[in-house]
Amino acid sequence: MKKLYNLQINETIKKIIPPLSSEELRILENNIIRDGCREPICVWNNTIVDGHNRYGICTKHKIPFDIQEMEFNSFEEMEDWVCVNQLGRRNISEETRKYLIGKRYINEKIINKNPHGNNQFTKNVSPNNSEKPPSTTMITATRLGKEYKVSSRTIVEYAKYANSIDVLEENEPELVSKVLSGDIKISQDDIRRLSIDKSPTKEKIKKHLENQQKYRKEPPAQKSIKDMPEYDPDAEVSSITFTIPSWINSINRLISTDFSKTTPKAKLKLMNELNNLLYSIKTIKIAIGESENE
């Protein structure tokens, strides 16, 4: 029966759900005002699991709604369900996708540690039954890797990324929001460093990201010679130094690749580019060495 329910909002659950854009929220509000709330709001123990935006709109305009009671054995199972549900959306960014997959791995590792090894992925068996559920024999990372068509190692990296995002979010919620929405680009390694770095380096990286974002949105106007900033001899070096860790991270991910399944053309192209990279590295190292001997 539709009515105005007084529901609870869990901030941990709410923050892992990608927010709607202002235009999407406006359209949803107009539709609910015109047609009422057609979809029930999913709840567990009176806490909203799915439907935060609809609940806010219905409460604001005093529009009655239905609720759907969900059944979970733990908070981790609830959070896992939310992640799966959000991963089914088409309009999430790649960074949000990595984050949600990482959260799934973290939660399901906890879920799999219950006394009987049973969770929402296993069959219903009696604790006294000697038959071992098939799902419990599969490593969580391997199973999720097959589901999302990535390696088990990548799944573990996503989990580390999700942990770093959660730590960083405590002090830098605005930065995390921009990262997960795709507004700014930053490597997984840099996210990890930002989450643990308490030194001035953190402020430098933040400033770099802010300038990067501003440049993309507002291309700088042409300046005259006299308006140009003072020459910075370290600018180019600092820029490439900041980028190299992301290259290393990308190259390291290739270690787990099964090259026997890669086409000869692709392997040849990769080998040529690696040789070019090695040549460039040697050239730069020679140039640095010569400058130090001058």
Q: Read off the pLDDT of residues 72-92 as tens digits, 9 standing for 90 and up.
A: 999 999 999 999 999 988 788
Residues 161-189: tens digit of each pLDDT: 999 999 988 888 888 888 898 888 888 88
Lowest-confidence region among 1-5, 29-33, 150-154, 270-274: 270-274
Asked if residue 40 and residue 110 are part of one domain, the reply reads no
Q: Could you tell me if residue 53 is inside a domain?
A: yes
Listing DSSP states for the chain in one string gives --B----B--HHHHHTSPPPPHHHHHHHHHHHHHH---SPEEEETTEEEE-HHHHHHHHHHT--B-EEE---SSHHHHHHHHHHHHHT-SS--HHHHHHHHHHHHHHHHHHTTSTT---TTS----TT--PPPGGGGS-HHHHHHHHHTS-HHHHHHHHHHHHHHHHHHHH-HHHHHHHHHTSS---HHHHHHHHH--SHHHHHHHHHHHHHHHHHHSPPPP--GGGSPPP-TTHHHHHHHHHHHHHHHHHHGGGG--GGGS-HHHHHHHHHHHHHHHHHHHHHHHHHHHHHH-
- Structural domain boundaries, residue 59: 1-71
Please report the pLDDT score of residue 133 as a whole number.
47
Q: Could you tell me if residue 234 is inside a domain?
A: no
| Percentage of the chain exceeding pLDDT 90 | 40
Lowest-confidence region among 8-17, 45-54, 237-246: 237-246
Q: Of 105-109, 114-118, 203-207, 264-268, which has the strongest mean pLDDT?
A: 105-109
Q: Which of 176, 194, 219 is the last residue of a domain?
A: 219
Asked if residue 97 and residue 36 are part of one domain, the reply reads no
Distance between CA 247 and CA 187 in Å, rounded? Answer: 9
Asked if residue 208 and residue 166 are part of one domain, the reply reads yes
Residues 89-140: tens digit of each pLDDT: 878 899 999 999 999 999 999 887 754 444 444 444 444 444 444 443 358 9
* Whether the predicted pLDDT of 222 surpasses 70: no
Please report the pLDDT score of residue 123 as a whole number.
42
Asked if residue 5 and residue 107 are part of one domain, the reply reads no
Asked if residue 106 and residue 66 are part of one domain, the reply reads no
* Whether the predicted pLDDT of 252 surpasses 80: no
Asked if residue 202 and residue 96 are part of one domain, the reply reads yes
Q: Could you tell me if residue 24 is inside a domain?
A: yes
pLDDT tier for residue 207 given thresholds of 50, 70 and 90: low
Asked if residue 154 and residue 106 are part of one domain, the reply reads yes
Asked if residue 53 and residue 109 are part of one domain, the reply reads no
Q: Could you tell me if residue 21 is inside a domain?
A: yes
Please report the pLDDT score of residue 89 as a whole number.
83
* Whether the predicted pLDDT of 236 surpasses 80: no
- Strand-pair partners of 43: 48, 69
**Number of domains composing the chain:** 2
Q: Calculate mean pLDDT across residues 254-273.
A: 78
CATH number, position 25: 3.90.1530
Write down the pTM of the prediction: 0.61
Q: Could you tell me if residue 242 is inside a domain?
A: no
Q: Calculate mean pLDDT across residues 43-59.
A: 95
Asked if residue 110 and residue 184 are part of one domain, the reply reads yes
Asked if residue 200 and residue 96 are part of one domain, the reply reads yes
Asked if residue 100 and residue 2 are part of one domain, the reply reads no
